[in-house]
Chain A
Amino acid sequence: MRRLLRRVRPRTLAARTALFLLLALMAVQAAGLTIHALDRVDLQRAAMERETSSRVFGLWRSMVISPPDRRAAMLAELELPEGLEAALEAGSAVRTGMLPAPPEVLRMVRPEILLGGPPRWRAREVQAGMGFGTLYVSALLPDGSAWVNLRLHMPPLRPWHSETFLIAFLLMTVAAAALIVWATRRLTRPVRDLARAANALGRDVNAPPMPEDGPLEVSTAAHAFNTMAERIRRFVGDRTQMLAAIGHDLRTPITRLKLRAEFMEDEEQRGKMLADLEEMEAMVNATLAFARDDAAAEPSVPLDLAALCRTVLDEAADARPAAAPETFAYEGPERLTVRGRPIALKRALANLVANAANYGNAARVVLVPPGAGGAAPGTIQIRVEDEGPGIPEESQEAVFQPFRRLETSRNRETGGVGLGLPIARNILRAHGGDVVLRNRPGGGLLAVATLPA
């Protein structure tokens, strides 16, 4: 039951508010219409009373003034309102044992007027009684020759009997529903905007601030959000600056050490020292690349992504002269032009290819144009496949965190500071794309980078 309720209950704030308001409004409407209907019943009854009593009086008058032998014919000609029957009979229609007529029913006929008026019009006797929803009133004519027997079938009260009632109810409900839906959507829009802004902030610290307008509560929330974003921005900025400063300042001592190494006599030791320094330099450069928002400074230009893939692969191959040439392979179109920042994109792809080569023994780059096998329309896929052990599924997202390295699968010789993937992801996201990892069914890791076409 509770599960059913949960399923029926709408999930969005707007829908919930709308539903609640609509139900409340329908209840109010029903109550209002009921009051209105009861009023109508009273009116109906008063009108009926007036009508019936005046007809009864008219009937009585024609009976009194017409000669006795014409009375039956007159009675037949008289038009009577619905539910009222009249007959001229020798005896009273009111039987003993009938219930006394309640006054509000008796008012319909108003027998007292039959007893009023000038003496020659006055009824000799009037009897009244109720039986089975019918009011019996019998009056003995002034000359005492016959009884006028009136039978009034009480019409059932039909307060709901009106087509306009249902139509009005439906129309008002629909109009109110439309208004409520519109209003709640409008009212909850700031909440959606806030969610969107928070999402954007998660992807890009420098996302534009929220507009601080609208109702007081909304503008207060927007202001609070912007303040928080500003604090985060400053925090990230400070950290970034610190990283950049450290990286920058390390370059001078590294340069000195490289020069000093040239004066070492021991060839072997010099080579090792230079290798260490190269590694340090690579780390500093990676840190700087991560810390500095290079991508933002570089202009976006049209570039050939196919040539970029090939260049990255060629450079990776050149850096590993010992590797077999088929270790690095490209598959895809000869030319594919996109808009992007060449140096940043090259770094992103080079990081993916270097990971594949270092930890996966091979790097196969497959460039998939938009709409072609596996790529969504409007999206370009760059798939980097390797032949390594892959990465456990639970760690596939963690390796995108800065300085996170999977020590078990990566030994010291392969180097790196754990910034390759975060840098690649930063760059691709700044281009409106992304990169994710997954294991290939046949073994090996697959990095799927996407770019908007």
Chain B
Amino acid sequence: METAPHILVVDDDREIRDLLARFLEKQGFRVTTAREAREARKVWPLGRYHIVVLDLMMPGESGLDFARWLRGQSDVPIVMLTAMGEETDRIVGLELGADDYVAKPFNPRELLARIRAVMRRAHGEGARRDPLPSAIRFGGWVLEPQRRRLLNPDGAEVPLTGGEYELLTVLVERPNRVLTRDMLMDLLRGRQAGPFDRAIDVAVSRLRRKLEDDGRNPSLIKTVRGGGYVLAADVERAA
């Protein structure tokens, strides 16, 4: 294990590339930059990268094509930089196996948090590098990670806040396992900046309401005495 994680940054804007490299280096990463996909292919074999930060909109070969090529080479985590609202690109990107995305113009600290979270997930957890499943079923509900949405038993989309979505993802990834508040905070830190860690309990109670789980007698997300939660349901994944 190297001391400094190595990041490959692919972005066509020189200023952003250089500033991002300086910023990430200041945060203790080793950074290699590439101007576009062609250059990235050239530098790819030269180093062992822990994560790739990839701009989706580039001249020449698009970020999506490069991501597809990269997935053929390696299962290195990919964080995509997308323009706001480019919904279809984002979905395609996640289907191609990108691990997360950040919308431009991004907050550098949020990008940093996402990078750390993705790396923790990729390397920390037994290096499970499955691509995102298309659907996760539990108790009649369907979570679609590639489209970042939840469907109720009738098939209607149930909008969730970012925090609720992240919490639900963490829970369905570990069904029938007791997660203490500390564990949840740890799993969620970085995924969601802001006031989330303030109130795991608030998020759980909101999520229960949306899952139509009775707060006093919950059947899906159960409260464990001593401060923890568990998703009590059989979970079925579809690739």
B19 with A259: CB separation less than 8 A: yes
Nearest-Cβ distance from residue B37 to partner chain A, whole angstroms? 18
Query: A164-204 vs B: 1/0 string, CB under 8 Å?
Result: 00000000000000000000000000000000000000000
B159 with A311: CB separation less than 8 A: yes
B23 with A303: CB separation less than 8 A: no
Write out the residue numbers on chain A whose beta carbons fall within 8 Å of the beta carbon of B156.
301-304, 337
A252 with B154: CB separation less than 8 A: no
Q: How large is the interface on B (under 10, 10 to 19, 20 to 34, 35 or more residues)?
A: 35 or more
Write out the residue numbers on chain A whose beta carbons fall within 8 Å of the beta carbon of B194.
318
Total contacting residues, chain A, CB less than 8 A? 42
B157 with A301: CB separation less than 8 A: yes
B206 lies within 8 A of chain A by Cβ: yes
Nearest-Cβ distance from residue B101 to partner chain A, whole angstroms? 14
Asked, given contacts A302-B157, A337-B154, whether A292 binds B20 with beta carbons under 8 Å apart, the answer is no
| Interchain CA distance A328-B57 in the complex, whole Å | 39
B85 with A263: CB separation less than 8 A: no
Asked, given contacts A288-B84, A310-B209, A335-B212, whether A258 binds B105 with beta carbons under 8 Å apart, the answer is yes
Nearest-Cβ distance from residue A42 to partner chain B, whole angstroms? 86
Write out the residue numbers on chain A whose beta carbons fall within 8 Å of the beta carbon of B130.
none
* Interfacial residues of chain B within 83-97, with CB under 8 A of chain A in the complex: 83-85, 87-88
A274 with B107: CB separation less than 8 A: yes
A294 lies within 8 A of chain B by Cβ: yes
Nearest A residue to B84, CB-CB: A285
B85 with A289: CB separation less than 8 A: yes
Q: Is the interface of A mostly helix, strand, loop or mixed?
A: helix
Write out the residue numbers on chain A whose beta carbons fall within 8 Å of the beta carbon of B16.
252, 255-256, 259
| Interchain CA distance A302-B159 in the complex, whole Å | 11
B19 with A304: CB separation less than 8 A: no
B19 with A311: CB separation less than 8 A: no
A258 with B161: CB separation less than 8 A: no
Residue of A294, A315, A335, A343 near B152 (CB, 8 A) is A335
A255 with B209: CB separation less than 8 A: no
Max chain B C-beta neighbours (<10 A), residue from A259, A285, A334: A259
B160 lies within 8 A of chain A by Cβ: yes
Nearest-Cβ distance from residue A101 to partner chain B, whole angstroms? 103
| Interchain CA distance A254-B15 in the complex, whole Å | 11
Asked, given contacts A311-B164, A318-B163, whether A304 binds B105 with beta carbons under 8 Å apart, the answer is no
A304 with B20: CB separation less than 8 A: no
Write out the residue numbers on chain B whose beta carbons fall within 8 Å of the beta carbon of A294.
85
B105 with A307: CB separation less than 8 A: no
A26 lies within 8 A of chain B by Cβ: no
| Interchain CA distance A315-B164 in the complex, whole Å | 10
A260 lies within 8 A of chain B by Cβ: yes
Residue of A258, A321, A335 near B106 (CB, 8 A) is A258
17 contacts between A and B (CB under 8 A): A255-B104, A255-B106, A256-B15, A258-B105, A259-B19, A262-B26, A301-B157, A303-B156, A303-B159, A304-B158, A308-B159, A310-B210, A312-B159, A318-B194, A335-B212, A337-B154, A342-B159
Binding site for B on A (CB under 8 A): 248, 251-252, 254-256, 258-260, 262-263, 274, 277-278, 281, 284-285, 288-289, 292, 294, 297-298, 301-304, 307-308, 310-312, 314-315, 318, 321, 334-335, 337, 342-343, 346
- Counting from the closest, the 7 A-B pairs by CB-CB distance are A259-B19, A302-B156, A303-B157, A254-B105, A255-B105, A307-B158, A337-B156
